[in-house]
Copies of this chain bind each other. A is one copy, B any other.
Amino acid sequence: MEIIVDEGAGFCFGVERAMKMTEEVARSSQGRVVTIGPLIHNPQVIEELKKEGVEVASTDADLRDAVVIIRTHGVAPEVEQQLRQKSRSLVDATCPYVKKSHQYAELLHKEDYHTLIVGDRNHPEIKGLLGCAGERVTVINDPDEADALPHFPKLGVIIQTTYPIEKVQRIIAKLVGRTTELRVYNTICDYTSDRQTTTASIARRVQLMYVIGGRNSANTNKLVDTCRQEGVETRLIEVAGEIDERDLEDVERVGITAGASTPEIRIAEVLERLEQISAARVTH
C-alpha cells in the first residue's frame, strides 16, 4: 500500500507560536495560567496542556491573579481591555495574520467603508474581528448570501484566515456589480491555501484519505470538505487509534493530511499505524 503524506501539514505558524508562548508562560509563571477558550481546537493537546497547569478559564473568578493567554483566534479590543483589567497579566498569542485582519477592519471603519466579513459568524476569529469593524458590517459565509446584499458606495472585504479561496472568488465576482468601490484584503493565510491545494492534489491520487485533527476544528473540517469534493472516501480522525483496518482492505494508495492545530506527533502516529498495516499485508 502506498502512503502519501502532506509534508506541510500540522501546526501552522500561528499555532506553533501560541504553543511556544504558552509553554514558556507555563514554565516561568508562579501563579495560575488560563486560556480564553481552548488554546487550539485539538482535545488531545488541551489535555496535555492541563497536565502542565494550563486551564481553560470558565468564569471571571478564574482570571483573578492569573496569567491570561489570548489564543490564536484573537478577541475583540473591548474584550482584551476587560481581560487586562480582570487578570494579573495578559499574554496575547493572537495569530499575527489575525491581528492584520483586525488592523484592516479598523482601517475600513475609519475610511467609511461598509465592511463585509466572509466567514463563520460563530467562529471565535470572526467574533473578535467584529469587535474591530464598527457598526457598518455584514458577515456572510456562503456565495449565495452575496446575492441578497444591497448596493454599497464603498465596500471593504476581509476574509476568515482559513476560508477556501474558491468560495471567495465566487463571492467577489458577485460583489463587483454591487458597489462603486470594492476593496478586498486577501487575509487567507498562506498555510491554509497551501494546505487546501496540497490536500486536493493528494486526494485526487488516492482511494482513501485520512484528515487528522480536532472534530471541533474549522480548518480540519474544511480539509474534509476539500477531499470529499474531489470525490474521495475520507475519514476525519483525531488519533491513530481510530483507524479501522477494514476501511483499507482494497486500498492501494492512501493519503494523510492534517489541520493547523494537529501536532506532528499525531501525524507520525497515523503514518506509523498505516505502515504497520501495509507491512502486515505484504507478509500475508
A contacts, CB < 8 Å to B: 165, 168-170, 172-174, 176-177, 179-186, 193
Inter-subunit contact B176/A186 (CB<8 Å): yes
Inter-subunit contact B180/A181 (CB<8 Å): no
Inter-subunit contact B185/A181 (CB<8 Å): yes
Write the nearest CB–CB distance from A117 to chain B, whole angstroms: 15
With a cutoff of 8 Å between Cβ atoms, the chain B residues found around residue A176 in the complex are: 165, 168-169, 172, 184, 186
| Cα A181 to Cα B193 with chains together (Å) | 16
Q: Nearest CB to that of A159 among chain B residues?
A: B176
| Cα A185 to Cα B186 with chains together (Å) | 17
Write the nearest CB–CB distance from A158 to chain B, whole angstroms: 11
Write the nearest CB–CB distance from A112 to chain B, whole angstroms: 14
| Cα A109 to Cα B128 with chains together (Å) | 33
Write the nearest CB–CB distance from A166 to chain B, whole angstroms: 9
Identify which of A165, A174, A184, A193 gathers the most chain B CB atoms within 10 Å of its CB.
Answer: A184
Write the nearest CB–CB distance from A180 to chain B, whole angstroms: 5
| Cα A132 to Cα B180 with chains together (Å) | 20
Inter-subunit contact A177/B186 (CB<8 Å): yes
Write the nearest CB–CB distance from A155 to chain B, whole angstroms: 9
Inter-subunit contact A173/B169 (CB<8 Å): yes
